[in-house]
Amino acid sequence: MSSHATRRLILLSLLVLIAAVLTLMNPVFLTAGNLLKLLQEASQTGIVAVGFTLVMISAGIDMSIGGIIALTAMVSINFISYTKLPVYVFVPLTLLVGVAAGFFNGFFITRFKLPEFIVTLATKGILSGLALVIAVKDSMGFVQNVYIQNEAYLWFGSSTFGGLYRTTIAFVLLGVGTQFFLKNTRGGTNIYATGANASAAKLTGISTERTVMGVYVFSGFCASLAAIFISSRMMTAMPELGIGSEMDVIASVVIGGTTFAGGMGDIWGTMIGSVFLALIKNGILKLGISPWIQPIVIGGIIVLTVIIDVWQKKLSDRLATKSKLRKIASAPGRRAA
């Protein structure tokens, strides 16, 4: 427990430290505009990462999120281009893309006991292909770049009072709600139990199938939700939108302290992780370093975090035995030899 708190403290200190260094090197960093934009970027990744965190706590992985984002955006574009449906009708329908994809993933994983990685990777392939198929094309058959002019749709990606982006508000609400769900409800407990020891969870009477199904559906939902905010913010969408975003999402979750082994982690960590990642990316940009090194840095951070986590676990185990000794030493009734 306390090693968990230490980790979080270190992460937060590091966050402040990097922010301070960036401010010193480029004063533009600390402007309200930049910070709000940074939070907005963090939120776009973060919304997906919230769903992904639950998948990872259940000891699974969802490689399909990129495909879900792409297809969701294309479905939206189709609604906008070819129908006159109001936003409050077609956006909920669009969100069903992620929900359906999650069902598909969950069904094959639980019913046929297929490996999560393979199932979701296949889903990603199918969905990104579908995104290309339904993309709006010109008469020559080339994918057309549709500019979104639907005011109601653009509302999602815009900012509100004080320049705070609605994406950020959505992220915080989703994050807080999911954290509460994880830590305070039976459903949340079931996810931890399933991830930590699935056969034990089953023997205890938890329906691990339902739990696994649930996390993939939720992950798909979050990815679709993010797609709405991203496309609205960009005022357009290409069928490649979101493809390759797994990297950033996984980085956010892992930095936040959720482990691949399952049974551990929370949303607070993921929220800090997404801000941390956005900060690094923003810093690379603000310092004028080539953006091409971004993926190298992010990959490096993932590996480094995992190494530090393993190392810290060993350390804390050792400290725990030491403190046990102190208790033994101070306990009365020791036999004088």
Q: Which residues bind other proteins (CB under 8 A)?
A: 1, 184-187, 189-190, 192-193, 196-197, 199-207, 263-264, 320-322, 324-325, 328, 334-335, 337
Q: Output 199 or 290, the one with its CB closest to other proteins.
A: 199
Q: Which residue has the tokens 């776009």?
A: 44
Residue 31 or 184: the one with the smaller Cβ distance to other proteins is 184
**Least distance (Å) from other proteins to the CB of residue 98?**
23
Closest separation in Å from C-beta 70 to other proteins: 34
d(CA 256, CA 273): 5
Cα gap 196→207, rounded to integer Å: 14
CA angle 240, 241, 244 (to 5 degrees): 80
Tokens, residue 269: 């960590």
The size of the chain, in residues, is 337
The answer to whether residues 226 and 175 touch, using CB atoms and an 8 Å cutoff, is no
- CB nearer to other proteins: give 84 or 334: 334
Distance between alpha carbon 141 and the CA centroid of its chain, in Å? Answer: 34
CB of 184 to other proteins, least distance (A): 5
Choice between 157 and 269, CB closer to other proteins? 269
| Residue 199 identity | S
| CA–CA gap between residue 183 and residue 186 (Å, rounded) | 9
Cβ 182 to other proteins shortest distance, Å: 11
Q: What b/e sequence results for 224-263 when a residue is b if at least 16 CB atoms lie within 10 Å of its CB, and e otherwise?
A: bbbbbbbbbbeeebbbbbbbebbbbbbbbbbbbbbbeebb
Cβ proximity to other proteins: between 3 and 34 the closer is 3
> 223 with 242: CB under 8 angstroms?
yes
| 168 neighbors 44 (Cβ within 8 angstroms) | no
Between 241 and 264, whose beta carbon lies closer to other proteins?
A: 264
Residue with smaller CB distance to other proteins, 65 or 254: 254
Q: How far is the CB of 202 from other proteins (least distance, A)?
A: 7
Closer Cβ to other proteins, 192 or 229, answer by number: 192
Distance CA 81, CA 147 (A): 9
The least distance separating other proteins from the CB of residue 259, rounded to whole angstroms, comes to 10
Q: Structure tokens of 256? A: 């936040």
Q: How many CB atoms lie within 10 A of CB 134?
A: 14
Q: Which amino acid appears at position 108 of this protein?
A: F
CB 37 within 8 A of CB 164: no
Q: Smallest gap, in angstroms, from Cβ of residue 222 to other proteins? A: 20
Q: Least distance to other proteins from the beta carbon of 319, Å?
A: 10
